[in-house]
Chains A and B, each alone.
Chain A
Amino acid sequence: MIQLYNVFKTYNGNTPALVDISLLIKERSFVFITGASGAGKSTLLKLLFGWERFDSGQILVKGMNVGKIKKEKLYLLRRHIGVVFQDYKLLPNKTVFENVAFALEVTGASARSIRYKTSDALKSVGLFKKRDSHPMQLSGGEQQRVGIARALVHNPAILLADEPTGNLDPDISLEILKLFEMANQQGMTVVFATHNHELVRRANYPFIILDKGNVVRP
């Protein structure tokens, strides 16, 4: 499903962000990526959906050779992936419903299936009632639910989460974690980057520790 072989990544010639990373993430698995700030967690996720290019090595995602995909064709990879961000990345001038529907709209889905799937995704994160609110009218936890609904709505094979609970209270964080577990149970591969050790310990999934760009214990 996700395979990395001897991957190196350096940002404009500075200190390396990822050093000789090789790892395998199986289909339908749930994996944490942890490590101190600056360890390279975000960088690793960005490589997986083709947001950053890497210097050498190989990355295979859903059978696609990520390093070989042309910029104009990266959307093909990204349509298999849902991404959840620490800062939610919601569009403030769109309603909750429109924010989630947006992920389907850009793929050219029909209006009917957009309506249907968006409602479904909002129900699954428990926010259907707030579909007409704007992001600014929601709490942080609710905003992140919208972000998760948007990542789930096109039913991707892989869910990448970069510190999705970084801005949230511990209680809310656990609820958010449950949503990812639910997605995992429905068959999605989840890669969850966090430096919240509490969360990692309670959930009891395999984890990858990064330290200064190196894998410490796979």
Chain B
Amino acid sequence: MFYSKHLNRAVDNLKSNPQTSLVSVSTFAAAFCILGLFMVLYVNLDSLLATWSRQVQIIVYLNDDLKKPQLKKLEALFAGNSEVSSVEYVSRQAAWEKFKNTFSAETEFLETLAFNPLPASYNLRFKPGPRRVENIRRFAEELRERPEVESLEYGEKWISRFEKFMVFLKVFLLAIGGLLGLGLIFIISNTIRLSALSRKNEIELMLMIGATHRYIKTPFLLEGVLQGAAGAVLALLAAKGVHAYMSFQFSDSIAKIARDADFLFIGPSGILILFGSSVAVGWLGSYISISKVLNMVNES
């Protein structure tokens, strides 16, 4: 009851300054759309990183002609590492079969090879965990020193580079989020200030006839919140539109980059964060300006 009356007043305020309201709503929409698209980028890179780092494994290529005890020794070493989740031995023969299967189109060329050029190998997979990449790296360096090991392969370097990039992206997101937020607070407070000043006489009268500050402020706060909410909804729709367009237009290349991963949109919590911060920014901006106007009227 209390709020429906204030809501009506807020809507009246919005309608009586349609241009300024429109400007601030569309500024909100533009800013949060940009932010939303960055979040889409982040979400997808993050899921890509998760997929890839789940797939990180060490492939230990072995020297030819190792004897059983030497293999046993290596296997004991793998078993002794508590981070290793699975060990798969690929013999030279198995590697060769797999290679031939993969490149079956080129069988003619392959037939001309008289011998098997591939080494035997162990594929090591690791348990998930916070220091996973670090653990993998340490173990890989240890293995590299072994005389049985010809060489080894793992995606450590660019995985950790990618992780650093994601941290950077997160900081960058927060930074532009903060900057846009500040700009929006400035814009919304200006809009609400104009709206409040156009009702200066009414505010003055309300004070004189015994309205509380809260009563006077509430419609203006709702006005800011409504603008923020409307902006956020438009922004999310626009971002979803861009997302849909991109997944349609670039579905092939996306499938190539991300293998079977989907092109994700911001999840429910991300949407909630966007919407919540838009509303919060609307509230804060209007709170600042209506408090100022109220003080100014009250001083006179």
Residues of A within 8 A of B (CB): 49, 51, 71-72, 74-76, 78-79, 81, 83, 89, 91, 102-103, 105-108, 150, 154
The 10 closest A-B pairs by CB, nearest first: A106-B211, A78-B210, A79-B210, A75-B210, A103-B209, A75-B212, A72-B213, A106-B206, A89-B205, A83-B208
Contact (Cβ within 8 A) A49 B201: no
Contact of B2 among A51, A76, A108 (CB under 8 A): A108
Q: List residues of chain A with CB within 8 A of the CB of B134.
A: none
What is the minimal beta-carbon distance from A71 to any residue of chain B, in angstroms? 6
Other CB < 8 Å A-B pairs besides A78-B207, A91-B205, 16 of them? Answer: A72-B212, A72-B213, A74-B207, A75-B211, A75-B212, A78-B208, A78-B209, A83-B208, A89-B205, A89-B208, A91-B202, A102-B206, A102-B209, A106-B211, A107-B210, A107-B211
Report 20 cross-chain contacts, Cβ distance below 8 Å, ordered by A residue. Answer: A51-B208, A71-B213, A74-B207, A75-B211, A75-B212, A76-B210, A78-B207, A78-B208, A78-B209, A81-B210, A83-B209, A89-B201, A89-B205, A91-B205, A103-B209, A105-B5, A106-B211, A107-B211, A150-B209, A154-B210
Q: A103 to chain B: which residues have CB within 8 Å?
A: 209-210
Which residues of B are at the interface with A, using a C-beta cutoff of 8 A?
2, 5, 201-202, 204-213, 215, 298
Whole-angstrom CA separation of A72 from B298 in the bound complex: 10
Q: Give the CA-CA distance A91 to B208 in the complex, in Å.
A: 14
C-alpha spacing A111/B202, complex, angstroms: 21
Complex-state Cα separation, A35 to B258, whole angstroms: 87
CB-CB < 8 A to A91: which residues of B? 201-202, 205
How close is A80's CB to chain B, nearest CB, in angstroms?
8
Contact (Cβ within 8 A) A106 B209: yes
